[in-house]
């Protein structure tokens, strides 16, 4: 069994949030923004502000993800899709909701902010079908997610940083890893209305139970690449995430690493 990006990100969101029924009275800044999707025979990508929520490679597929930490104030959710098998029927639905903790929802529910259903006819064209929705939020992480100007760091420095970060996981240095993720901790805490200490604790637990117990995959520095997405670099080794482990039962865990520049330093931002 493989624990992918969405599962780990959603797990962190759940761990950071906890019961928050009182948030209903506090307004938009305390809402949980959630994307849900279902589809069959579709390939393509679902993004929020340019960052990939999920890649679709056929189906059937069903998914959900909280997107709070990817919000930039003025936001756009976007799906770019086509039929995987041109001769087979296809369909896709996408919902976006603003929720408060305590709301009961399921993947099949319509989005309360946006909902679109694409039929086989919609997806049968020669060019990919693109659907978008713009929406505004009080949550705004554009300072960390979007580039504000030229960076003094290039791909070489970013990849050198990635190698050092991987070394911290190899040494199982939880304290240094948490320091490298301090900006991420602060943003997640703000995104889900919880103390920063809660996020640090959840990450420490995830490191101990998932990543330090398993066997860390080695990396080939020559295969590392830094894909620029807005103001961040997504670090991968080929098509694999930089940090990935295999447990004794054969299951694997992955931790996506997005590096950005904060106060003149390279840090793990997402």
Residue range 7-51, pLDDT digits in tens: 344 444 443 333 333 333 344 446 899 999 999 999 999 999 999
Backbone φ/ψ region at 263: left (φ over 0), alpha (ψ -120 to 50), beta: left
Alpha-helical segments (H) within the chain = 5-17, 142-145, 155-171, 174-180, 182-191, 196-206
- Residue 212 in any domain: the answer is yes
Looking at 88, 105, 140, the residue that finishes a domain is 140
Q: At what angle do helices 196-206 and 182-191 cross, to 10 degrees?
A: 120
pLDDT for res 11: 44
- Residue 15 in any domain: the answer is no
pLDDT for res 29: 47
**Same domain, residue pair 159 and 261:** yes
Rounded to two decimals, the pTM is 0.84
What's the rounded mean pLDDT across residues 154-180? 96
Which has the higher per-residue pLDDT, 200 or 102? 200
Which has the higher per-residue pLDDT, 240 or 150? 240
- Residue 11 in any domain: the answer is no
Looking at 140, 172, 197, the residue that finishes a domain is 140
pLDDT for res 100: 85
**Same domain, residue pair 252 and 192:** yes
Residues 237 and 219 sit within 8 Å (Cβ to Cβ): yes
Distance of CA 129 to the CA centre of its chain: 23
- Residue 164 in any domain: the answer is yes
**Same domain, residue pair 163 and 134:** no
Which has the higher per-residue pLDDT, 16 or 264? 264
pLDDT for res 148: 73
**Same domain, residue pair 254 and 171:** yes
pLDDT for res 126: 87
pLDDT for res 105: 67
Phi, psi dihedral angles at 121 (to 5 degrees): -65, -40
- Residue 102 in any domain: the answer is yes
The two beta strands, 252-255 and 2-3, are parallel
Residues 131 and 119 sit within 8 Å (Cβ to Cβ): no
Backbone φ/ψ region at 73: left (φ over 0), alpha (ψ -120 to 50), beta: left
The two beta strands, 224-229 and 215-216, are unpaired
Full domain range(s) for residue 96 = 31-140
Q: pLDDT band for position 185 (50/70/90)?
A: very high
Q: pLDDT band for position 4 (50/70/90)?
A: very low
Q: What angle do CA 188, 190, 196 make, to 5 degrees?
A: 70
- Residue 193 in any domain: the answer is yes
**Same domain, residue pair 38 and 123:** yes
**Same domain, residue pair 110 and 197:** no
Residues 114 and 77 sit within 8 Å (Cβ to Cβ): yes
Please give the share of the chain, as a percent, with pLDDT higher than 70: 87
**Same domain, residue pair 45 and 96:** yes
Please give the share of the chain, as a percent, with pLDDT higher than 90: 74
**Same domain, residue pair 82 and 164:** no
- Residue 148 in any domain: the answer is no
What's the rounded mean pLDDT across residues 104-116? 82
pLDDT for res 106: 67
pLDDT for res 151: 80
**Same domain, residue pair 196 and 104:** no
User: Does 65 have pLDDT greater than 60?
Assistant: yes
**Same domain, residue pair 264 and 175:** yes
pLDDT 10s digits, 216-260: 999 999 999 999 999 999 999 999 999 999 988 888 899 999 999
User: CA neighbours within 13 Å on the CB side: how many for 228?
Assistant: 12
Domain total for the chain? 2
**Same domain, residue pair 189 and 136:** no
- Residue 45 in any domain: the answer is yes
User: Does 58 have pLDDT greater than 60?
Assistant: yes
Q: Residue 203: exposed, middle, or buried by beta-carbon count in 10 A (0-12, 13-18, 19+)?
A: buried
Looking at 140, 166, 200, the residue that finishes a domain is 140
User: CA neighbours within 13 Å on the CB side: how many for 79?
Assistant: 27
**Same domain, residue pair 162 and 262:** yes
Residues 57 and 44 sit within 8 Å (Cβ to Cβ): no
User: Does 150 have pLDDT greater than 80?
Assistant: no
pLDDT for res 10: 41
Chain mean pLDDT for the chain: 87
């Amino acid at each position: 069994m493989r624990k992918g990006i969405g599962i780990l990100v959603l797990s962190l969101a759940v761990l950071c949030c906890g019961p928050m029924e009182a948030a209903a009275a506090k307004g938009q800044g305390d809402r949980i923004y959630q994307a849900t999707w279902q589809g069959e025979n579709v390939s393509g990508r679902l993004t929020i502000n340019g960052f990939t929520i999920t890649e679709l490679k056929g189906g059937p597929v069903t998914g959900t993800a909280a997107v709070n930490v990817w919000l930039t104030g003025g936001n756009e959710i976007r799906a770019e899709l086509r039929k995987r098998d041109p001769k087979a029927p296809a369909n896709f639905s996408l919902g976006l909701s603003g929720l408060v903790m305590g709301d009961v929802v399921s993947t099949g529910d319509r989005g309360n902010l946006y909902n679109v259903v694409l039929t086989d006819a919609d997806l049968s064209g020669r060019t990919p079908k693109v659907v978008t929705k713009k929406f505004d939020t009080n949550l705004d992480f554009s300072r960390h997610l979007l580039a504000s100007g030229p960076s003094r760091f290039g791909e070489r420095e970013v990849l050198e940083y990635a190698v050092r970060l991987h070394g911290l996981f190899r040494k199982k240095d939880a304290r240094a890893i948490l320091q490298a993720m301090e900006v991420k901790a602060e943003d997640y805490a703000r995104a889900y209305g919880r103390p920063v200490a809660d996020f640090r604790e959840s990450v420490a637990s995830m490191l101990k139970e998932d990543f330090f117990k398993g066997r860390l995959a080695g990396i080939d520095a020559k295969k590392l690449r830094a894909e620029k997405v807005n103001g961040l670099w997504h670090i991968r080794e080929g098509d694999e995430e930089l940090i990935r482990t295999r447990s004794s039962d054969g299951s694997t865990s992955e931790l996506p690493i997005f590096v950005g520049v904060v106060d003149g330093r390279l840090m793990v931002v997402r």
